A and B are shown apart, each in its own frame.
Chain A
Amino acid sequence: MPGASVISETWLWAGWAAAAAPFAAFVLILFLLRRRPGAAAAVSLAAVATSMVFALCLLVCCVDMETPLRSVVTWMISGDTVISAGVHLDGLSLLMLAVVCGICLLVQVYSLGYMAGDPGFARYYAFMSLFAGAMIFLVLAPGLVQLYIFWELVGLSSYLLIGFWFEKFSASRAGKKAFVMTRLGDVAFLAGLLLLLVRGGVMDIAALSNGAAGLSSGMITVSAVLIFGGVIGKSAQFPLMTWLPDAMEGPTPVSALLHSATMVAAGVFLIARMFPFFSQSDAAMTFLLAVGTVSMLMSATMAMVSRDIKQVWAYSTISQLGFMLMALAAGGYFAGVFHLFTHAGFKALLFLCAGMLIHAFHSNDMFVIGQGGARGLKIPMLCMAVGAAALSGIWPFSGFASKEAVLATLVSLENPAWLIAGLAGVFLTAYYTFRLVFIIVFPAGRGQTRAEDPARGVAYAYGAMAWPVILLAFATLVLGFLAAPIRHWLAAGAGAHEAVHGPAWLAPLSLGLVFAAIAVAWVEFGRKNASQTGFVERVRVVAELFARRWYLDDIWGWAVSRLLDRGAAEACRQADNRVIDGFVHSLAGAAVASGRVLARGHRVMIQARLMIMFAVVFGLTCIMLIWG
């Protein structure tokens, strides 16, 4: 069918173009528009908008696509190793592409307001474009190596974005921490990838998924677990989770971008992308389930005691990512991916709302924001309420639908412990979400602050920030009802035969837990004369444990500074200075010393030397005469 092939080729070009546009914008801004912020922003927005348009076109036109489209070019050949680049268009990648482009576009529009007047405005948009391009290529990758490459580039651009305000020590340090900790995971990823390449010789994800590589099951488990290492790093799971809350040092739109749909979601996306491959190993999936569960619960507890509004959302991001991983590991392909999409929407919404509040009140502390009169800002407050409801999983917001799907997959597992953990997660999520909402909406000293003008300092480009937020809130309302078409769409990708709706008791149970949690939060924070201390904070030890992130940072700090810095590294340095150089120096010293000894031999009286000379001559004569 020649017509069809022409059409599909056109779509492939669209895919390439969608990915390339932001890269072009990056280069253009970096070299030509560094000193023209306005033009830089325009170029960057235009590029992302182009990608968005292409993504939507692809989404609309490929809706009835039977088989994935792909276009592959050879990037490099070395011996038998062929590394290729390309675009791979199927249900998952197209949906993800649309979500990524959408979030990128909205965040960039929002940044017009948020970042206005920043000296590094053009640089900001350059990095944003780089990020968008890398993320798009990652999403479209047909092969594991390409995925890894753009995975790393995403990490790089997140490093640059988190450390965007590099004059602040904390910001540059947070960027470094993010990069190094994700790198730690990536090392495992790379090892797994190389193992696959060496043993299987195939890098194509489709080929890996249908078992064309002919790997043994043990090898699959080992490489899957290694690749999970990359996921753990990128998606900030236990034990590499602590970089994510620190990454809040970046500008808020960056947080919104990184921690909703793009960077951290890349880990989940990888699992989804290679879902059939990973499904071949039960052990690896169980490992993933455990990791997801532990991270989900741990970070939820951390969120319960934080005073920093962005930190709360950061912890909740980890927690929700853990939730997605649980779903995927439990076999719920659709549940995990769907939660990824809904989460992308409402988490971006929450971050952007938080950004508006921070922008208005110049503080990250939710108590300060609440007392500053945040309830006066109608748009962010309403939208944040929508986002919070979605995060908690209240009908009819999008979070409800996806969370129910996740719980439904957990029900299907034999071991009920996972379901219980999931329900506990639901409870905690609702609790810390509404704790934050109540603190901001019903601040403790309500009476005094009323007098202040709530819209103080709001003479910023409000519109640029408000419209993306409103759009996202709308998406959050709608997305929950799109479960069925998305499911149909994704069905082509993998054997999605999991339950979307659990048993009848599941939805009431989870909703009941949510409302119970909200009630607890209300009692502690919302009602008049509430003490505004949570039940956790009453137990000092536990509060301390949660506030210090279960001492994970301390453990990592100890490992780096003691084991690595002062242990291994110092040992190497000392070995260099003492052992190797010491050996060399002693060699040199020995040469000098032996020279001295010989020189002393030459300093004896001439007559002794004369004697030696004679002796040598006559000795030689004798020798020659005897053996000559």
Chain B
Amino acid sequence: MSVYSIFFYLIAALMILSTALAVTRKNMVHAVLFLVISFLASALLFFLLGAPLLGILEVVIYAGAIMVLFLFVVMMIRIRATEGSGFLLWHYLGAGGLSALYVAACLLLVRHSGPGTGAPMPAAVAAPADFGLYLFERHWLGIEIVSLLLLVALIGVLHLGLSPAGQRSGKGGPY
């Protein structure tokens, strides 16, 4: 077992733990903060798996921008910590069944996985420069589309934020 693999298991444990904590927190601020930890850990994992650019982006976008946005919204609307009444029993049962199904699907996938998946993977690093070149050579269209998507999202968010909520509920609206 190499150092890398020790790192991997540590990071994995951290990720699962913090994600589980995040999911179960009643207080949403705590939940968001635990999730930040989880995302930071996954950024580490990306470094470990040879994707430094992605790791940095993960820190900047996920753990940075997105989670801050969450935090912002949570703080802004100051929701009561208590959630509404829980679910009926069948809902929990359904969730259990769903999980079982999921696990089954995963196990089946593992069984059907191709050769060489059990062997340790070789380490390799995609240098940010190579990665960028590759992206703009092979995926320039996708990049453009994604940027357009982001622009659209931006405009949409602006529109949603500008519309006075009270009037939007009525028929027609101001526009």
Q: Do A and B come together as binding partners?
A: yes
Question: Which residues from A are CB-within-8-Å of B105?
Answer: 618, 621-622, 625
Q: Does B1 touch A at the CB level, under 8 Å?
A: no
- From B91, B98, B112, contact of A625 by CB (8 A): B112
Q: Does A583 touch B at the CB level, under 8 Å?
A: no
Taking the closest CB of chain A, its distance from the CB of B76, in whole angstroms, is 23
Q: Does A478 touch B at the CB level, under 8 Å?
A: no
- The chain A residue with its CB closest to the CB of B95 is A611
Taking the closest CB of chain B, its distance from the CB of A591, in whole angstroms, is 29
A608–B109 CA distance with the chains assembled, in angstroms: 26
Q: Does B104 touch A at the CB level, under 8 Å?
A: yes
Complex interface residues of chain A between 206 and 246 (CB less than 8 A to chain B): none
A622 x B101 contact (CB < 8 A): yes
Question: Which residues from B are CB-within-8-Å of A607?
Answer: 91
Q: How large is the interface on A (under 10, 10 to 19, 20 to 34, 35 or more residues)?
A: 10 to 19
Interface flags, B82-120, vs A, CB<8A=1, else 0:
000000000100110110011011001100100000000
Taking the closest CB of chain B, its distance from the CB of A581, in whole angstroms, is 39
Taking the closest CB of chain B, its distance from the CB of A156, in whole angstroms, is 67
Question: Which residues from B are CB-within-8-Å of A622?
Answer: 101, 104-105, 108
Taking the closest CB of chain A, its distance from the CB of B4, in whole angstroms, is 31
A622–B97 CA distance with the chains assembled, in angstroms: 14
Interface flags, A582-618, vs B, CB<8A=1, else 0:
0000000000000000000000000110010011001
Q: Does A619 touch B at the CB level, under 8 Å?
A: yes
A615 x B104 contact (CB < 8 A): no
Q: Does A541 touch B at the CB level, under 8 Å?
A: no
A494–B136 CA distance with the chains assembled, in angstroms: 115
A615 x B101 contact (CB < 8 A): yes
Name the residue in A618, A621, A622 with the highest tally of chain B Cβ atoms < 10 Å from its Cβ: A618
Q: Does A4 touch B at the CB level, under 8 Å?
A: no
A611 x B101 contact (CB < 8 A): no
- The chain B residue with its CB closest to the CB of A622 is B105
Question: Which residues from A are CB-within-8-Å of B104?
Answer: 618, 622
B101 x A626 contact (CB < 8 A): no
Question: Which residues from A are CB-within-8-Å of B98?
Answer: 611, 614-615, 618
Check A621/B108 contact, CB under 8 A, given A614-B102, A615-B101.
Answer: yes
A615–B98 CA distance with the chains assembled, in angstroms: 6
A235–B78 CA distance with the chains assembled, in angstroms: 103
A619–B105 CA distance with the chains assembled, in angstroms: 8
A618 x B94 contact (CB < 8 A): no
Question: Which residues from A are CB-within-8-Å of B108?
Answer: 621-622, 625-626
Taking the closest CB of chain B, its distance from the CB of A202, in whole angstroms, is 82
- The chain A residue with its CB closest to the CB of B94 is A611
A625–B109 CA distance with the chains assembled, in angstroms: 7
A470–B94 CA distance with the chains assembled, in angstroms: 109
Question: Which residues from B are CB-within-8-Å of A615?
Answer: 94, 97-98, 101
A614–B96 CA distance with the chains assembled, in angstroms: 12
Question: Which residues from B are CB-within-8-Å of A618?
Answer: 98, 101-102, 104-105
A619 x B95 contact (CB < 8 A): no
Complex interface residues of chain B between 54 and 97 (CB less than 8 A to chain A): 91, 94-95, 97
Question: Which residues from A are CB-within-8-Å of B109?
Answer: 621, 625
Question: Which residues from B are CB-within-8-Å of A621?
Answer: 105, 108-109
Name the residue in B95, B102, B104, B105 with the highest tally of chain A Cβ atoms < 10 Å from its Cβ: B105
A618–B104 CA distance with the chains assembled, in angstroms: 9
Taking the closest CB of chain A, its distance from the CB of B96, in whole angstroms, is 11
A619 x B94 contact (CB < 8 A): no
Question: Which residues from B are CB-within-8-Å of A614?
Answer: 98, 102
- From A608, A619, A625, contact of B101 by CB (8 A): A619
A529–B91 CA distance with the chains assembled, in angstroms: 111
- The chain B residue with its CB closest to the CB of A615 is B98
Check A608/B112 contact, CB under 8 A, given A618-B105, A619-B101.
Answer: no
Check A608/B91 contact, CB under 8 A, given A621-B105, A625-B105, A625-B108.
Answer: yes
Taking the closest CB of chain A, its distance from the CB of B165, in whole angstroms, is 20
Question: Which residues from B are CB-within-8-Å of A611?
Answer: 91, 94-95, 98
A625–B104 CA distance with the chains assembled, in angstroms: 11
B102 x A608 contact (CB < 8 A): no
Question: Which residues from A are CB-within-8-Å of B101?
Answer: 615, 618-619, 622
Question: Which residues from A are CB-within-8-Å of B91?
Answer: 607-608, 611
- The chain B residue with its CB closest to the CB of A625 is B108
Question: Which residues from B are CB-within-8-Å of A625?
Answer: 105, 108-109, 112
- The chain B residue with its CB closest to the CB of A619 is B101
A607–B94 CA distance with the chains assembled, in angstroms: 11
- The chain A residue with its CB closest to the CB of B100 is A618
- The chain B residue with its CB closest to the CB of A617 is B105
- The chain B residue with its CB closest to the CB of A621 is B105
- The chain A residue with its CB closest to the CB of B104 is A622
Taking the closest CB of chain A, its distance from the CB of B93, in whole angstroms, is 11
- The chain A residue with its CB closest to the CB of B112 is A625
A618–B108 CA distance with the chains assembled, in angstroms: 11
A207–B10 CA distance with the chains assembled, in angstroms: 115
A622–B109 CA distance with the chains assembled, in angstroms: 8
Taking the closest CB of chain B, its distance from the CB of A332, in whole angstroms, is 95
A608–B87 CA distance with the chains assembled, in angstroms: 10
- The chain B residue with its CB closest to the CB of A610 is B98
A608–B93 CA distance with the chains assembled, in angstroms: 11
Question: Which residues from A are CB-within-8-Å of B95?
Answer: 611
A607–B83 CA distance with the chains assembled, in angstroms: 15
A438–B2 CA distance with the chains assembled, in angstroms: 145
> Top 7 closest A-B pairs, CB basis?
A625-B108, A618-B105, A621-B105, A618-B101, A622-B105, A618-B102, A611-B94
Give residues in A with beta carbon < 8 Å to B: 607-608, 611, 614-615, 618-619, 621-622, 625-626
Contacts A625-B108, A626-B108 known; 17 new A-B pairs at CB < 8 A: A607-B91, A608-B91, A608-B94, A611-B91, A611-B98, A614-B98, A614-B102, A615-B97, A615-B98, A615-B101, A618-B98, A618-B102, A619-B101, A621-B105, A621-B109, A625-B105, A625-B112
A-B contact pairs, 7 of them (CB 8 A): A607-B91, A614-B102, A615-B94, A618-B98, A618-B105, A619-B101, A621-B108
